[in-house]
C-alpha cells in the first residue's frame, strides 16, 4: 500500500473509531495534531510517514476513557497497522510514540527517543494550550462534572503519575498542573515558537478570569 493510501485509510479508521468520542479527544483533535505535526516536520529531518501515523493514532484509545488502561491504545494501533501490512519497524516506532507521548503529570521519563516522537509530542502539546487548549480543558472538566474554580483548592504541582491520573480538582487548577508547564517542555524549534504565543494567550485569559471572578471587570 502506498504511503498516500495508507494515510487516507488510517484517517478513515480513526474517524470511525472516534465517532462518539468526547469533544476534546475526538477526530478534530486528531486532525489538529496531524496538521501541527506535518507543519513541524517540514523543518525537521524525519520520517514523515511515521510522523503522520503517530499523529493519527496517538489517541486512538486514550486511557482516560478506558478505565486507565494504557495498553489498549497501542494494542488497537498495532492491530490496525498489522492488518494493513505495514512494516514491523514502522509499527514498532509508531507504537513507541503512542506509549511515550503523554504528559502523565510530567513526572514520567520517556522510555524512547526519536525526532518523530519529538514532533508528534510537540504537536499534541500545542493542541493542549492556547485558545483550543482552553476550550478543550473546560470541555473535559464539564464532561467530568468538575468545578470551574475553587479558591480553597490550590493546584498540586507535586503529583505522582497515579495522583495526576485520578485528579478531580477544579478545571482552573489544570492550567497550573499541566498547561502552563508545556511551553518549557517543547522539543522542536517550531514547536517552541508556536507555544510562546499560545502560552501568552492563556496567561491573558487567566488574568481576565480572576478579574471577572472577583468582580473587578
Q: Measured in whole angstroms, how far is the alpha carbon of residue 181 from the centre of its chain?
A: 14
Q: Are the C-beta atoms of 59 and 120 separated by less than 8 Å?
A: no
String of DSSP letters for 72-118: HHHHHHHHHHHHTT--HHHHHHHHHHHHH---GGGTS--S---HHHH
Q: How many CB atoms lie within 10 A of CB 165?
A: 15
C-alpha cell at 184: 518549557
| CA dist., res. 66 & res. 61, Å (int) | 7
- Between the alpha carbon of residue 113 and those of residues 96, 97, 170, 199, the distances in Å are 9, 9, 33, 25
* Structural element, H or E, at residue 92: helix 88-100
Q: Are the C-beta atoms of 37 and 20 separated by less than 8 Å?
A: no
Query: What is the pLDDT tens value at each position of the chain, 217 positions in all?
Result: 788 999 999 999 999 999 988 788 899 999 999 999 999 999 999 999 999 999 999 999 766 655 566 788 899 999 999 999 999 999 999 999 999 998 764 556 777 899 999 999 999 999 999 999 999 999 999 999 999 999 999 999 887 777 777 778 999 999 999 999 999 999 999 999 999 999 999 999 999 999 999 999 8
Q: Is 126 helix (H, G, I), strand (E, B) or coil?
A: helix
What does pTM read for this prediction?
0.90
Q: Measured in whole angstroms, how far is the alpha carbon of residue 207 from the centre of its chain?
A: 25
Amino acid at each position: 500500500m502506498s504511503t498516500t493510501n495508507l494515510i487516507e485509510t488510517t484517517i478513515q479508521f480513526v474517524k470511525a473509531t472516534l465517532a462518539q468520542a468526547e469533544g476534546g479527544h475526538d477526530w478534530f483533535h486528531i486532525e489538529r495534531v496531524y496538521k501541527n505535526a506535518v507543519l513541524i516536520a517540514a523543518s525537521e529531518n524525519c520520517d514523515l510517514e511515521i510522523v503522520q501515523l503517530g499523529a493519527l493514532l496517538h489517541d486512538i484509545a486514550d486511557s482516560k476513557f478506558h478505565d486507565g488502561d494504557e495498553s489498549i491504545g497501542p494494542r488497537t494501533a498495532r492491530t490496525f497497522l498489522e492488518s494493513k501490512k505495514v512494516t514491523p519497524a514502522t509499527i514498532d516506532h509508531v507504537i513507541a510514540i503512542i506509549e511515550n507521548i503523554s504528559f502523565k503529570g510530567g513526572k514520567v521519563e520517556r522510555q524512547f527517543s526519536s525526532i518523530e516522537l519529538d514532533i508528534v509530542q510537540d504537536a499534541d502539546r500545542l493542541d493542549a494550550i492556547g485558545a483550543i487548549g482552553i476550550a478543550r480543558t473546560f470541555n473535559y472538566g464539564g464532561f467530568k462534572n468538575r468545578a470551574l474554580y475553587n479558591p480553597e483548592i490550590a493546584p498540586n504541582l507535586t503529583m505522582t503519575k497515579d495522583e495526576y491520573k485520578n485528579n478531580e480538582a477544579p478545571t482552573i487548577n489544570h492550567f497550573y498542573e499541566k498547561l502552563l508547564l508545556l511551553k518549557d517542555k517543547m522539543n522542536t524549534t517550531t514547536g517552541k515558537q508556536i507555544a510562546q504565543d499560545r502560552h501568552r494567550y492563556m496567561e491573558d485569559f487567566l488574568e481576565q478570569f480572576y478579574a471577572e471572578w472577583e468582580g473587578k471587570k
